[in-house]
């Protein structure tokens, strides 16, 4: 899984300008905003937002399909950025910001439509809140913080749970598949919170890393 993780500088700045490909040149000209990865991220965001809109209209089948497609693009964007040599701190920030905005929108929407239970929504929201807190601490301390693999797995599980919950609610009440699909969605959401605890620990470790280095440095060296 490509984490859309990058160095402290855009990837195109690590090579000579005369060796840039067309994507890197475009990224440089737009200060890192117009990149293939960011376009994929934006497309995924759009599909997901429309999917949530359909959920508010009661069309759970369309909502599940669009949300699934949008979140698949959230995985693809990192591979696209890597393949085109356009990874950058800005792209990493765009990817992470979209994830958090969509999560908040999904929790509000799906709880208001009785798609997911409030306790599960609170657990998912709290888990993500801890990760946001770790990021904020890192920024305040000037420490580097990057996505971790367990965070991506947690994200995939929570969105998979949302999609399964939508798919289950799309089925008629007399369908034998309805409850198993709904329960599978709950299992993914709850399991994702457990996996997320690992990512939270890793993010907090990154957040305090700079302080640890400074405190262990020999002043006489």
Domain edges within the chain? 11-215
Please list the ranges in the chain whose pLDDT falls under 50.
Answer: 2-4, 211-221
pLDDT at site 213: 44
Classify residue 31 as left (phi > 0), alpha (psi -120 to 50) or beta: left
Cα dihedral 79, 82, 84, 85, rounded to 10, equals 170
Candidates 67, 199, 38; CA nearest to 127 is 199
pLDDT at site 134: 82
pLDDT at site 219: 36
The single-letter DSSP state of residue 31 is: T
How does pLDDT run across 143-155, given as a tens digit for each residue?
A: 666 666 777 788 8
How does pLDDT run across 100-124, given as a tens digit for each residue?
A: 899 999 999 999 999 999 999 999 9
DSSP result, 17-45: GGG--HHHHHHHHTTT-S-HHHHHHHHHH
pLDDT at site 218: 38
CATH fold for domain 11-215: 1.20.120
pLDDT at site 118: 95
């Amino acid at each position: 899984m490509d984490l859309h993780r990058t160095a402290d500088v855009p990837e195109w700045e690590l090579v000579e300008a005369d060796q840039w490909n067309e994507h890197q040149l475009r990224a440089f000209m737009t200060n890192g905003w117009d990149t293939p990865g960011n376009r994929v991220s934006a497309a995924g965001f759009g599909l997901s937002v429309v999917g949530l809109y359909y959920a508010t209209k009661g069309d759970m089948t369309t909502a599940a399909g669009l949300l699934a497609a949008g979140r698949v693009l959230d995985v693809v964007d990192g591979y696209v950025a890597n393949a085109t040599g356009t990874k950058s701190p800005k792209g990493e920030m765009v990817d992470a910001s979209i994830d958090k905005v969509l999560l908040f929108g999904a929790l509000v929407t799906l709880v208001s439509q009785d798609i997911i239970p409030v306790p599960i929504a609170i657990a998912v929201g709290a888990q993500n809140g801890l990760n946001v807190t770790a990021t904020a601490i890192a920024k305040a301390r000037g420490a580097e913080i990057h996505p971790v693999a367990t965070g991506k797995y947690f994200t995939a599980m929570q969105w998979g749970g949302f999609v399964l919950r939508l798919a289950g609610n799309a089925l008629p009440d007399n369908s034998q598949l309805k409850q198993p699909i709904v329960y599978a969605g709950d299992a993914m959401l709850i399991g994702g919170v457990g996996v997320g605890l690992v990512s939270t620990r890793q993010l907090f470790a990154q957040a305090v890393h700079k302080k640890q280095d400074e405190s262990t440095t020999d002043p006489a060296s």
